[in-house]
Structure 1
Amino acid sequence: MNPEMRRNLIEVCSTLAEQENLKVTITSSAKGALYVGAATFIGGVLGGPLGMAAGGVLSSLSVAFSSQGKFKSVVQIIAEMSEEQQVRLATSVQNAIKSVRPEELVGLLSLVMTNATLKEAILLEIGSFLKRELEMQMIR
């Protein structure tokens, strides 16, 4: 893929991520779920049904407060990617939008803004790439 095409695709990804205010979780949601599950179980063993409820509520609040501020914008993630990762993202997005001819990639941003299906395909591919390549969960 030539550098201009890659820049265009990365620009489209960044613009869409900014418009949609996309973010990724920095810490694992699974870790928080495991913590809440364990606290609920222990609460249930020690206090029965009320202990289970108390353990679940208190641990959920604890995880929620400890998770605040642990999100990054997708725009920032894309900007911090290595050149190799950006090439892989651009290739991945290009494969997702095969119906777009290479000469149309120059005006891709305006094309994407007027075509909801194309926009959604790119957003889905960004999320898929982040999960597959960087093990990050995108939040819309």
Structure 2
Amino acid sequence: MPPSRHSEMPVMVEDIMKLLCSISEHEKIKTAVKHSKRAAVLGASIIFVGGLVGGPQGIAVGGIIGGVLGAWMTRGQFQSIPQILMELPPAERQKLAKEATNILRDLEWTDAGQLIRKVMANEALKQKLLAMLVGYVSKWLKA
């Protein structure tokens, strides 16, 4: 059996980063980086004012206006997780890889392609990694 990549830390980190990018691309995950909270508050405020001024019709009009303004405010503020992962500093990449390694501790692989195939074929393992990744990115970005 070929040696595991567990002993080659820099290579293992890259394998795991490729795996996490692959999982997030497969699941089509995006995250709001900035302004989502502000856009939501603005939208809710416009709906509220619309309801005060125009009753039920005002709520509908306020919802449309608030939604359009919220979308306009957050335009360009969504990044894919692979993009975020590639921009992480080396220390954070190492930390994320360590968390993933705890989930992958019983898995042996020789390269990123083999790791990705094994994980994608194991739904339970993929979901654990996905949950870890979403939690990490949410905490890292406060998104």
TM-score normalized by the length of structure 2: 0.78
Question: Residue type of the partner of 1:37?
Answer: A
8 A Cα contact 1:41 1:52, kept in partner: yes
Report if the CA contact (8 A) 1:13-1:126 is conserved: yes
Q: How many residue pairs were aligned?
A: 133
Q: Is the 8 A contact 1:8 1:105 kept in 2?
A: no
Of 129, 132, 140 in structure 2, the residue corresponding to residue 133 of structure 1 is 140
Which secondary structure state, in structure 2, belongs to the residue aligned with residue 81 of structure 1?
coil
- Give the drift of 1:127: 0.6
Q: Is the Cα contact below 8 Å between 1:23 and 1:72 reproduced in 2?
A: yes
Structure 1 partner of 2:63: 56
RMSD: 2.1
Residues 1:18 and 2:25 aligned together = yes
TM-score of the two chains, using structure 1 as the length reference? 0.80
SS of corresponding position for 1:76: helix
List alignment gaps of at least 5 residues for structure 1. none
Runs of 4 or more off by more than 4 Å in structure 1?
none
Aligned to 2:3: none
Q: Deviations over 1:15-42 (max 9, x none)?
A: 2223333222222432222111111111
- For the residue of structure 2 that corresponds to 1:112, the secondary structure is helix
Extract unaligned runs of 5+ from structure 2: 1-5
Identity of aligned residues (%): 27
